C-alpha cells in the first residue's frame, strides 16, 4: 500500500471523521446564574444560566442536569437575537459522541444546538432557562425557608419569593431589590471550589 493510499484509507475510517468533533470540548466563560425561589413548599426554583461557549468549532453546548434534581420547563435563547435555540436532553454517553469527551456517563445533559459554530478565538453566548425540583436544596425549617446548595460558578444571584425577607447568608453577599420588589442576594465565588451556599428567609409580617 502506497503512502498516499494509506492516508486516504485512514481518512475514510469512521473514527477519523469523528475525531474533530471529539476535540471540540465544552469550554465555557463568563458564566452567571440567577436562582429564583418559587412557591415555598414546592421545592422548586427557576434557574437562568447565561454562559459563553468558547471551544473552537463546537456546534453544541452541554449543560449538566444535577443529580438529585428533577428538571422541567427548559428553554434556550440566543441573547443576541432573542431567537429560541434547539435543544434536547441526552445521556452522558450521547454527549461524548456529540463532542463533549469529558462528559460523565452517569449524568444527563441539556444539549444546546448553538446558532453557529464557535469561531477560532471567538465565542457564542446563550441563555438556558430551566426549573429544578429538589427538596434537599430548597426546603422549610420551622418558620424559615432554606436554600442550601453548592454553587460552582463564579457569579450567582438568589431571588427570594415575593413577601420574604433575608434572615441569613453564610457567604459575603450584596442584598438588592428587584424591579418587582423581591429581595435578591448576589455574590461572587472567589475560590476554585464550589461555594457551599446557605440562604435563609422568612415571610414578612403582615
- Indicate where the chain has its CATH 2.60.40 domain(s): 28-133
Per-residue pLDDT at 24: 62
Nearest 5 degrees, angle CA 5-CA 11-CA 17?
A: 170
pLDDT in tens, 90-108: 999 999 999 999 999 999 9
* Percent of the chain residues topping a pLDDT of 90: 84
28-133 to CATH, choices 3.30.70, 2.20.180, 1.10.3470, 2.60.40: 2.60.40
Q: What are phi and psi of 140, to 5 degrees?
A: -95, 140
**In sequence order, which residues have a C-beta less than 8 Å from that of residue 183 and are 6 or more positions away?**
159, 160, 164, 165, 166, 175, 176, 177, 201
Per-residue pLDDT at 79: 96
Paired sense of beta strands 155-159 and 87-91, if any: unpaired
Per-residue pLDDT at 87: 98
Ramachandran region of residue 101, left (φ > 0), alpha (ψ -120 to 50) or beta? alpha
Tell me if 183 sits within 8 A of 167, measured CB to CB: no
- Averaged confidence pLDDT in the chain: 89
Say if residue 17's pLDDT is above 80: no
Per-residue pLDDT at 191: 86
Q: C-alpha grid cell for residue 152?
A: 460552582
pLDDT in tens, 143-189: 999 999 999 999 999 999 999 999 999 999 999 999 999 999 999 99
Per-residue pLDDT at 12: 36
Amino acid at each position: 500500500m502506497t503512502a498516499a493510499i494509506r492516508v486516504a484509507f485512514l481518512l475514510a475510517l469512521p473514527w477519523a471523521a469523528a475525531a474533530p468533533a471529539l476535540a471540540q470540548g465544552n469550554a465555557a466563560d463568563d458564566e452567571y446564574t440567577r436562582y429564583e425561589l418559587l412557591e415555598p413548599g414546592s421545592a422548586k426554583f427557576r434557574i437562568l444560566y447565561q454562559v459563553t461557549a468558547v471551544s473552537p468549532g463546537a456546534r453544541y453546548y452541554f449543560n449538566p442536569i444535577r443529580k438529585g434534581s428533577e428538571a422541567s420547563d427548559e428553554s434556550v435563547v440566543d441573547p443576541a437575537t432573542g431567537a429560541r435555540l434547539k435543544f434536547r436532553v441526552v445521556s452522558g454517553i450521547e454527549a461524548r459522541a456529540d463532542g463533549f469527551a469529558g462528559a460523565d456517563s452517569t449524568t444527563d445533559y441539556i444539549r444546546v444546538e448553538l446558532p453557529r459554530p464557535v469561531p477560532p478565538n471567538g465565542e457564542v453566548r446563550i441563555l438556558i432557562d430551566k426549573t429544578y425540583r429538589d427538596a434537599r436544596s430548597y426546603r422549610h425549617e420551622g418558620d424559615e425557608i432554606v436554600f442550601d446548595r453548592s454553587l460552582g460558578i463564579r457569579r450567582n444571584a438568589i431571588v427570594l419569593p415575593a413577601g420574604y425577607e433575608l434572615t441569613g447568608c453564610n457567604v459575603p453577599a450584596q442584598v438588592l431589590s428587584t424591579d418587582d420588589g423581591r429581595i435578591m442576594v448576589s455574590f461572587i465565588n472567589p475560590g476554585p471550589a464550589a461555594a457551599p451556599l446557605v440562604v435563609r428567609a422568612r415571610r414578612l409580617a403582615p
